Structure 1
Amino acid sequence: MAAESAGDLIRVVALLGAAVVAVPLFKRIGLGSVLGYLAAGLVIGPYGLQIIGDPHAIIHLAEFGVVMFLFVIGLEMKPSHLWGLRRQIFGLGSMQVIISAILMTIVGTQFGVSWEVAFVSSSGFVLTSTAIVMQVLGERKELSTKRGQKIVSILLFEDLLIVPLLAVVTFLSPFEKTEASMPWWQSAGIAMLALAALVFIGRFILNPVFRILANAKAREVMTAAALFVVLGAALLMEEAGLSMAMGAFVAGVMLSESAFRHQLEADIEPFRGLLLGLFFLGVGMALDLKVVAENWQLILLGVIVLMFTKGICIYVVARLAKSTHKTALERALLMAQGGEFAFVLFAAALSKGVIDETVNANMTAIVVLSMVLTPLILVIYEKYGAKEVAEEIEPDEIDEQHPILIIGMGRFGQIVNDLLRLSGYATTVVDLNPNMIKGFNEYGIKSYFGDASRREFLIAAGLEQAEMLVVAIDNKAQASDIVHFAREVNPNIKIIARAYDRFHTFDLYEAGVNEAVRETFDSAVRTGRVALENLGMEPEVAKEIAEYYFHADRHEVKLMSQVYDPQAQFFKNPALRDIARECDQKMAAEIQEILVRAKEKEQEES
């Protein structure tokens, strides 16, 4: 017993040690964490140092890492947002899967196997590795971007496919069908009932339960409850014939609007990261070097042909869906590998007699090799291929509209958005800088890339229904045009705009703005106040003068906007000149009165 325990401990230490050494090393040399885990698994596995002899047991356990990853992704997707992705899930996902499966089946028959074997092998390869793709997207901080969400949508559709594919394997089986076997419609009905039950529990039961547990103030119980929800949902879906990952994702979506969302994510994260790393270690161990050595020509050719065929299909579908060349190419390189569900499908096909041991071993090696090669291909592409001339980036698709629309997230718009967001208001944020948008999405502030000078883009962003528009861009002409268009299509909207200077303020009022805020006015007034204090004036007096000047000058600008003529120069417009002189005299008199009052007060106190 002691020797067996020591052996188990050695294996655990080997797993942890391999990850601790390999992952930082591979990340340091720019190859990424996934490739580090795969290499570490290969070294300590049965075809390396033979410290661990059963990689499939490791993979089976570590699949819970993928399950937890899907739960965390679900927490980030509200039901309304997921509904907005329905066309991508069932449209883009089905198109990619169907085209890829047909072409790869045709290619598979060219290797001299029957169409049944080619179909099963191709179907397994169609199911992309959720673990690898999610890990790469997570490391790149792209899960919340438009491109990342399209990829997640396709992965969700592929997860749903495991049920009908397993049914097809049973149908193709040469073994006699027993009367006890369940008809496909009954299996589908059970799966739908289980899904409906999970949705009901998530919507009406989980929140009250978590509220009770939170009131108990036992942190470990909340962690146990989080794990119970994830694993319970996974078990329910697996028993119903669906994938565990799908169950966890649905549970996450149902809790995405819960007040305990962030607590759940924090509780699950350590387990998710550890188990996902363990999964990649298991995949590295599962690469049977003997099979590869014996059939290396066939396996290498299979990897190249299947990855190339799948990649071409993904690229074509992405282009048909109006993605740019760069976006389509990157999606093809990221998703061209087989996935972990292929192992499930191949095992079922082997047990049903659809494929034999040799095909199972070769296809498993091909899938594992494709998973191993994907991170390496991405590294090579990022180093050499991504440096090509940048092309025009397509605007984001607005999938959420809010009452407040903010145009521009530079140094000015950021502050406005922060004040509104932190005060509890939902905003739709638009900017023309893709790096800025990517950064804010990584930070957790939902933002969209697009040109607000395009009227159709403003309409898509919800301008017609919005209650307020904040124009915070630094392009004077575009700002005035946006204000003018907004006032046309939504007469009741409140419009606040950033003005470059006094004359731009006049233009904005003419265009229909409610409030125009000069971009340097507030800071200039504050600078003047600080200057007065440094000249010896009491801070309270300087503050009173600055506040008076702030309101008086804004009133002056509003008066001037009523008589402003853009065709006449400032000093040749008598009405503007008269208003300026009159207001200057009033302000001087009022400020002198403030100084006199302050001096009298000082004398009284002394």
Structure 2
Amino acid sequence: MAGEISISNTLSDALVILGAAGIVIPVFTRFRITPVIGFILIGVLVGPYGLGKLVYDEPWLSHITITDPEALEPFAEFGIILLLFGIGLELSFNRLWQMRRLVFGLGALELLISGSLIAVFLAMMGQYWSGAVGLGLALALSSTAIVLPISGTASPVGRAALSMLLFEDIAIVPIIFMLGALAPYAQGAGWEGMVETLWQGGLVILALLVLGRIALPRLFAQAARTKSPELFLAASLLVVIGASLATGLTGLSPIVGALIAGLLIAETEYHTEIESIMEPFKGLALGVFLITVGMSIDLMTIWDNFGLIMLAVLMVLTLKALVTGLLLRVMGARRSTATETGILMASPSETTLIVLSAASAALLIQPGTAQFWQIVTAIGLTITPLLARLGRVVARRVEPAPELPPEEPGKRRVVIIGVGRVGRLIADMLKVHGKSYIAIDSDTDTVEVAKRRGYRAVFGDAGRGDALERLGVENALALILTMDEPVLAQRLTQKLRKEYPDLPIIARARDTRHAAELYRSGASHAVPETLESSLQLSEAVLVDLGVPMGPVIASIHEKRDEYRAQIEEDGQMAYTPKLRTSTVDNPG
């Protein structure tokens, strides 16, 4: 009987969550509002401090409320794991290495300075110093789960946010162990535990890196040969859960293992397929996490302590925004980038709740104090999407975007995404042949350099909002993607092909494999850099060896056509489940 009741409650909770997803996502998308707010509000409504309070008086409400909030916590944690796994898929070890100065420089400074200032302020207000340190570090953290889906990882704001969030995710384990060491009765055991965890975790991470490079290509090659999307999904979940458990068993955070798993898979040719398969699960699990955040908000407690809570929220947001913005300016970021990133990163994090629990368990803060700051954190998480919008508005006022050059009367033009070295060269060739163009780039420094050199360039993020619509992409002669961001180029190609079926899309590819992926995503032409450089080298060698220029050029053209035909054929061939099953088919 008890088992039947438990199953009934579980099914009821599942119905509430799926119903919330079915209502929140379409409604909020229609009004161009992030579903983050919707999920949190649903959590407030159906949680123990909302309609859940009335279940004893009105039993029928149990069917539309969450009856066991604690049962959702594992699913919420899994949502964070999948989010970090997705971030790893978007990165690569090379890109992560290039970001090391930001991760361990900017990320470390932001956490330490923000945490120290908050701790000093709380100590001045009467909090004992060890508890103030714990609260300062907890509130200095920012939300990976909410910030990165809003900012992305390709824009200047997204790169800055990603670097700080990566460091915070790495630092969470040392922070928790340090709080254990500061506990009144710890007797130094916390430091010993931290050292043991770090060396064991280091060995596990090394083992994952070695085994992953050897085993993952073979594992996913076997899954791909079966043409079964179910097996591909099972292999993906096996990898991410296995890596998360491996780091979790040593005492490190499971999200470290998830990030490493994503980075390893990003180095294989199957990362695009895995990313598309995992996306729906990641979104739903993240929705569960946001619902749990909403369930922790007690509206009556907020009402009773409204002034004090709002003052605390304002203090945390202001201090963190100022510290983050000033650090970015010191490190050379534009005023607009520093302003938008500072405001976006101002809220506390979901991991703040973990650190608060650790500080409370270590007797560094009282349970009532922990509950107060949990409410502050939940409010901060709820308003993060509003802060993101505020940040964009303030950034435009602090440093207005360059004016859009006037349209050339009666001329359709080419739209170039990216105005770096390759984009400027293409613009030069278009100018030589009398073709009008406009270039867009999300790096304000690159745009300024291009404008000073006489190029028609504007600042904007082609992957967000209506930036391309304002450039008239629907009437463009062609659209050219020149950025050296393989994942971003592929996503943009897929999105643009869906929105503009007849638009010629010419994309820069890193190599022949990337070119094939771009063709699958809908590119009209994909030009691999490695192919063109090889052909140019061959041409130079043959001419130096005395072969006449005419036959050399003819053979180079013939070989180029042969390679491009093969790449296009590879792009259309179904060597992964994505192209074999209609449920996950791609255009083009």
SS at match of 1:268: helix
8 Å CA contact 2:340, 2:395 repeated in 1: no
2-side partners of 1:288 and 1:409: how far apart?
57
Q: Does 1:97 align with 2:90?
A: no
Q: Residue 9 of structure 1 corresponds to which residue in structure 2?
A: 11
**Larger Rg, first or second structure (1 or 2):** 1
Q: Does 1:72 align with 2:118?
A: no
Q: Residue 30 of structure 2 corresponds to which residue in structure 1?
A: 28
TM-superposed deviation, 1:297: 2.9
Taking only the aligned residue pairs, the percentage that are identical comes to 29
1-side partners of 2:26 and 2:235: how far apart?
32
2-side partners of 1:191 and 1:303: how far apart?
35
Aligned residue runs from structure 1 range 169-568, under 5 A: 169-177=179-187, 182-382=192-392, 386=396, 390=400, 405-408=422-425, 433-435=457-459, 438-439=462-463, 445=481, 447=483
Aligned residue runs from structure 1 range 53-68, under 5 A: 53-68=67-82
Residues 77-112 of structure 1 show CA distances to partners (whole Å, capped at 9, x for unaligned) of 221111111111111111111111111111112332
- Change in Cα spacing, 1:267 to 1:310, as seen in structure 2 (3 Å) is same
Number of aligned residue pairs: 428
1-side partners of 2:391 and 2:193: how far apart?
47
1-side partners of 2:394 and 2:325: how far apart?
19
1-side partners of 2:137 and 2:282: how far apart?
27
TM-superposed deviation, 1:446: 5.8
TM-align CA RMSD: 3.4
Q: Residue 98 of structure 2 corresponds to which residue in structure 1?
A: 84
2-side partners of 1:87 and 1:203: how far apart?
25
Amino acid in structure 2 at the alignment position of 1:102: S
- Change in Cα spacing, 1:157 to 1:445, as seen in structure 2 (3 Å) is farther
TM-superposed deviation, 1:444: 11
Residues 336-386 of structure 1 show CA distances to partners (whole Å, capped at 9, x for unaligned) of 011111121111222221222111111111111111122123334556774
- Change in Cα spacing, 1:31 to 1:385, as seen in structure 2 (3 Å) is farther
Q: Does 1:109 align with 2:109?
A: no
Q: TM-score, normalised by structure 1?
A: 0.64
Amino acid in structure 1 at the alignment position of 2:140: V
Q: Residue 127 of structure 1 corresponds to which residue in structure 2?
A: 141
Residues 311-341 of structure 1 show CA distances to partners (whole Å, capped at 9, x for unaligned) of 1111111111111221111101111011111
TM-superposed deviation, 1:169: 0.6
SS at match of 1:317: helix
- Change in Cα spacing, 1:247 to 1:88, as seen in structure 2 (3 Å) is same
Q: TM-score, normalised by structure 2?
A: 0.66
2-side partners of 1:112 and 1:302: how far apart?
15
Amino acid in structure 1 at the alignment position of 2:82: M
TM-superposed deviation, 1:52: 1.4
TM-superposed deviation, 1:270: 1.4
TM-superposed deviation, 1:405: 4.2
Q: Does 1:46 align with 2:16?
A: no
- Change in Cα spacing, 1:149 to 1:383, as seen in structure 2 (3 Å) is closer
* Greater mean alpha carbon deviation, residues 147-156 or residues 220-229: 147-156
TM-superposed deviation, 1:161: 0.7
- Change in Cα spacing, 1:434 to 1:155, as seen in structure 2 (3 Å) is farther
TM-superposed deviation, 1:151: 1.4
TM-superposed deviation, 1:54: 4.2
Residues 52-83 of structure 1 show CA distances to partners (whole Å, capped at 9, x for unaligned) of 14445424422212211221221122211111
* Greater mean alpha carbon deviation, residues 262-271 or residues 14-23: 14-23
8 Å CA contact 1:337, 1:374 repeated in 2: yes
8 Å CA contact 2:335, 2:398 repeated in 1: no
1-side partners of 2:279 and 2:390: how far apart?
30
8 Å CA contact 2:180, 2:186 repeated in 1: no
2-side partners of 1:228 and 1:368: how far apart?
32
Amino acid in structure 2 at the alignment position of 1:44: V
8 Å CA contact 1:437, 1:447 repeated in 2: no
2-side partners of 1:259 and 1:35: how far apart?
36
In the alignment, structure 1 segments of 5+ residues that lack a partner are 394-399, 417-427, 450-492, 495-514, 516-606
TM-superposed deviation, 1:165: 0.4
1-side partners of 2:186 and 2:194: how far apart?
16
2-side partners of 1:198 and 1:300: how far apart?
45
Amino acid in structure 2 at the alignment position of 1:433: A
- Change in Cα spacing, 1:181 to 1:163, as seen in structure 2 (3 Å) is closer
Residues 166-203 of structure 1 show CA distances to partners (whole Å, capped at 9, x for unaligned) of 11111111125487984432221112111111111221
In the alignment, structure 2 segments of 5+ residues that lack a partner are 53-64, 404-417, 434-445, 469-478, 486-535, 538-552, 554-588
8 Å CA contact 1:437, 1:448 repeated in 2: no
